Amino acid sequence: MKSISVINNEIVTVTGLFTFKTKHNKAKSLKNDYIVILVTAKDKQEAEAISQKLLNEHLIACANIVSPVTSFFYWMGKVETADECLIVMKSRSDLFGEIAGLVKGLHSYEVPEVLALPIVEGSKAYLDWLSVVLKPV
């Protein structure tokens, strides 16, 4: 099992019996803080429209549409079920506010799911590609 923590400006990685420490530059990490954004949409057409708009604005580097996904959730006091499309998008945390605003404006749901998860690690080539295609900092 692997765990990663930031303690006293050092990234501490624990893997099994070994602990690795590296210097952590907070200003740099905030500038290049990559995220995965999850959005559910009512159908593939809505998912594609949201994805295309965000791509055209260089707010996301790519979008994967997974369809169908079956969602279970509370709405108006009762458990609901819906077949939806899940959009998995890659971006940077400083762009999240703009992304969430555009999704809300394009989305048919009253309360759309727009969640961001941190990318803890990734291949250097992929992360370099993200930095090239996303809107500049």
Question: Facing residues of 7 across strands?
Answer: 10
For 100: left if phi > 0, alpha if psi spans -120 to 50, otherwise beta; the answer is: alpha
Q: Token digits for 111?
A: 């309360």
Domain ranges of the chain: 1-31, 33-133
Question: Facing residues of 21 across strands?
Answer: 12
Q: Are 98 and 92 in contact (CB under 8 A)?
A: no
Residue 8: pLDDT over 90: no
Backbone angles phi, psi at 35, to 5 degrees: -135, 160
Domain 33-133 matching CATH 3.40.190.10: the answer reads no
Q: Look at 34 and 5; give whichever has higher pLDDT.
A: 34
DSSP at 47: H
Q: Token digits for 25?
A: 């530059």
The predicted-structure confidence for 12-70, as pLDDT tens digits, reads as follows 555 555 554 544 444 444 456 999 999 999 999 999 999 999 999 999 999 999 999 99
For 64: left if phi > 0, alpha if psi spans -120 to 50, otherwise beta; the answer is: beta
The predicted-structure confidence for 65-95, as pLDDT tens digits, reads as follows 999 999 999 999 999 999 999 999 999 999 9
Residues sharing a CB contact under 8 Å with residue 25, sequence separation 6 or more, in sequence order: none
Q: What percent of the chain has pLDDT over 70?
A: 77
Q: Are 89 and 60 in contact (CB under 8 A)?
A: yes
Distance CA 72, CA 100 (A): 22
Count the helix, strand and coil residues of the chain and give each as a percent rounded to the nearest 5: 30, 45, 25
